[in-house]
Amino acid sequence: MEMPEAQETKIVKHPKRLPITFVSVVFVFIAVYFAVQGIILLRHHSIEAYNVSVPSSDSLGATHEGILLRRETVYTSPEEGYVSFYSVSGEWMAREDLVASLDPAGDIENKLRTLYYDYSALSYSSRVSVQKAIRNGVENYDPIHFETAVRAKSEVEAAVMNALLKDGGEELKNRLNDLSYTAVKTEISGFFLNWTDGFENRAPEELRTEDFKSAGYEAAFVRGGSYLHKGDLLYKLASDNQFTLCFLPSDQEAASLAAKKTVSVRMSDGLELSGAFSLRTAADGKRLGVIEFAKYGANYLNSRYVSFRIIDESVTGFKIPESSSVQKSFFVVPRSYIGVGGKNESGVMLKGKDRNVFVPATVYVRPEGYEGEHFVIGEDSAYVYSEDLSPGMTIIEYGDARREMTLGVMATVDGCFQINSGYCVFKPVIRLRNSIDTSFVIVQANLRGSIKAYDRIVLDAGGLKEAEIIYE
């Protein structure tokens, strides 16, 4: 009897499957998220925004350090003695005002205080003048230059002495006349100054190139309480508000200013002034710019060197960084080829094989009433841009003529990227001038379709594209 054949047993091994759990799904999601964010960060570069301010005036003018000259009369000490001043530097003095006293014994201040002891406290106006002298001393104090502290002390003492005389009245002055001292009164009216530097009453033509180097400049101050010999410097008076500003222009500046009769400047304190201008020759043959001002000299009584900027041919507009500037290419087409589509969008009609297609586009035309230079060519032209348009395509004119033209002529428009909405939006600008600050330019304000005050634009537009999302 035959035995039945043994059946072959087949065992199939199935691959092990990892159990799909909620934790594993969350882990995979987090891993993918961080991978995507890592790729974005690798492609991302930091973007800084610049806030457009309101329109301001600016120009091509350079910054200069000029020498300030004025009519100054120097007075010397008529006698020997310790000097006490009764005015602070820069104060206006009338003719025959008591400006100082000279006391051989050196105790005039103590005598004055003793005489004043029985009187009431200082008046409100006197306290204000003393407080002002103290405040000015604090503001002008420089720890590197000790003379600023000495000058402040002298001016505070002068303010106190002036207050004592003022509040003491005629009775105090009469009693003071009985004391042995020399009263010094002004011969003319003017602004009181207690320093000298050798520039007094110098004509612009007497200046030399080395005079404009303020690094080695020194002024001699007469301090209250110091002992003076007869003939020593006592004080000087600046007769009025007029002053003259002298500077060394470059050859290019001299050529551009040669025909000017008046020039405007912006002083370091922000004050803008206009004065009569002339080109002269300094003592060493150098070209010298001279601007004469009829007023505001009192603002700079204690300054010989002042910084200022020439505001020749001033312009007004938005001041934006040079690094914000970008350029964009547009097709130049006649204005008659511009139409409006179903969504009230401007664009052009593109000719197709079977049918014509309206293509929405960015369109720039000359603003109504604008008479200056613009980025469009003539009043009947327009600039058109769309990613769906390329050279060689044919567009159709609107109206009855239905003329056709082939896209090809292109022009470049200056602009910047506005990022108010978080992505780059190209805004055209018209560059008017380079700014006084060389890293900025002045662009026209109130230009239709351009930037506005308080817009945010990209500070450095290099490498960015239109519609790119911004990560600040």
Per-residue pLDDT, 179: 59
Q: Please tell me the least confidently modeled range out of 84-88, 384-388, 420-424.
A: 84-88
Q: Tell me the average pLDDT across 405-422.
A: 92
DSSP 15-49: PP-----HHHHHHHHHHHHHHHHHHHHHH-----E
Per-residue pLDDT, 8: 58
**3-state secondary structure (DSSP) of residue 423:** strand
Per-residue pLDDT, 268: 86
Per-residue pLDDT, 177: 58
Runs of H (alpha helix) within 235-380 = 251-257
Is the pLDDT assigned to residue 316 strictly greater than 90? Answer: no
Quote the percentage of the chain above a pLDDT of 70: 73
Tens of pLDDT, residue by residue over 276-313, are: 999 999 999 999 999 999 999 999 998 899 999 887 66
Pairing label, strands 182-185, 98-103: antiparallel
Tens of pLDDT, residue by residue over 30-66, are: 878 777 766 655 555 568 899 999 887 766 567 889 9
Mean per-residue pLDDT over the chain, rounded? 81
**3-state secondary structure (DSSP) of residue 307:** strand
The whole-model pTM stands at 0.51
H or E stretch covering 114: helix 108-116
Q: Tell me the average pLDDT across 239-244.
A: 93
Q: Tell me the average pLDDT across 399-405.
A: 83
Is the pLDDT assigned to residue 74 strictly greater than 90? Answer: yes
Per-residue pLDDT, 41: 55
Per-residue pLDDT, 469: 83
Is the pLDDT assigned to residue 399 strictly greater than 90? Answer: no
Is the pLDDT assigned to residue 105 strictly greater than 80? Answer: no
DSSP 144-179: TBTHHHHHHHHHHHHHHHHHHHHHHHHHHHHHHTTS
Q: Please tell me the least confidently modeled range out of 82-86, 382-386, 402-406.
A: 82-86
How many CA atoms does the CB half-sphere of 56 hold within 13 Å? 13
Segments making up each domain of the chain, as ranges:
49-58+319-458, 62-312
Would you say the C-alpha torsion 206, 200, 268, 219 has a positive or negative sign? positive
Tens of pLDDT, residue by residue over 173-205, are: 555 555 567 888 899 999 999 889 999 989 999
